[in-house]
Amino acid sequence: MFPRVKRIPDERFDETIVKFYDKEQSIEIDKCKCIGCGICSRVCPNHVIYSSQMEGKIRINREDLIPSIPNPRDCSFCGTCAYMCPVSAIWLKKNNTYVKRKDFAIRTKKIVPKLEYDTIELENPKTEAKVYITGNIEVDWDECISCLSCVNVCPSECFTKEQSQDKNAKRKSKPSYNGKNCIKCGTCVNACSQEAITLNINEIKQSGEYKEIFWEPLIARLKHI
C-alpha cells in the first residue's frame, strides 16, 4: 500500500523516506550538524517536524533537541525546513538524489525570497551558521532555575556557567549571557524548560520576490517563539 514509509537512522544521519508509486522522497537530518534551534519545526507549513525528546526533562542537551518527523505521510516535501535551517543540517532528496536549495520549488517558483545572511563559524557543533535573523535575546533571571540547559546547547557559547565564589552556597549560581556572537537561532529558547528566555526577532534579511500567502504566515510562525 502506498505511500510506504521507511526510517533509516544511524550515528550521524536520520533519514525519513516516503515511497510513492513512481517516486521516492526523503528528508535527511544531519544529527552532528543540527543545533536544535527548532526553526524547522516553527516554519513547517504542515507541522510535521518537531523536537520530541524533551518531555519531562529539565536539563536539556543538544541531542534532546534534534527534530524528528513522526507523521511523514503529512509532509509535502516542500523543503521549507531545509531552506530555513541556519546550519544546513537538513537535506531534501528525490529518488535518492540530493536537491540543491536553489532548486527547491519554493525558490524556483518564487514562493519564498532569497535569504541574505552573514556567516559565522561555530565550535559546538563545528560548522558554519547562516545569520539571517536580527533581534535580541531577553532573559528573565527571576524565572531561571540554574539548570544550565542554555549553557549546554548554545552553539555560539553566549551562555556560560558562572563559578560561585561562595563554596558553601546551597543554590547553584545562574549562568551569564553575552550576546556578542549570538546568531539569533533560538536554541536557548527551545531548551529552556521554564520559558525564561525570549528571542525577539526584528527582521529576516531577504531579497527578491515571494508569495505573501506563504511567506508571511511562515514569518509569523518563526517569530512565535
pLDDT at 204 over 80: yes
Q: What pLDDT, on a 0 to 100 scale, did the predictor assign at position 79? A: 96
Kindly report the backbone phi and psi dihedral angles of residue 41, in degrees, each rounded to the nearest multiple of 5, phi listed first.
Answer: -65, -40
Rounded to 5 degrees, what angle do the CA atoms 30, 35, 39 make?
95
Distance CA 146, CA 156 (A): 19
Q: Report the candidate in 83, 81, 88 with the shortest Cα–Cα distance to residue 33.
A: 88
pLDDT digits (tens, 9 = 90+) for 103-154: 999 999 999 999 999 999 998 899 999 999 999 999 999 999 999 999 999 9
Cβ-based neighbours of 221, under 8 Å, separated by 6 or more:
42, 43
pLDDT digits (tens, 9 = 90+) for 60-99: 999 999 999 989 999 999 999 999 999 999 999 999 999 9
Query: Which domains, from first to last, does the chain contain?
Result: 4-125+205-223 (3.30.70.20), 132-164+173-201 (3.30.70.20)
- Read off the amino acid at residue 28: E
Name the grid cell of 115. 535569504
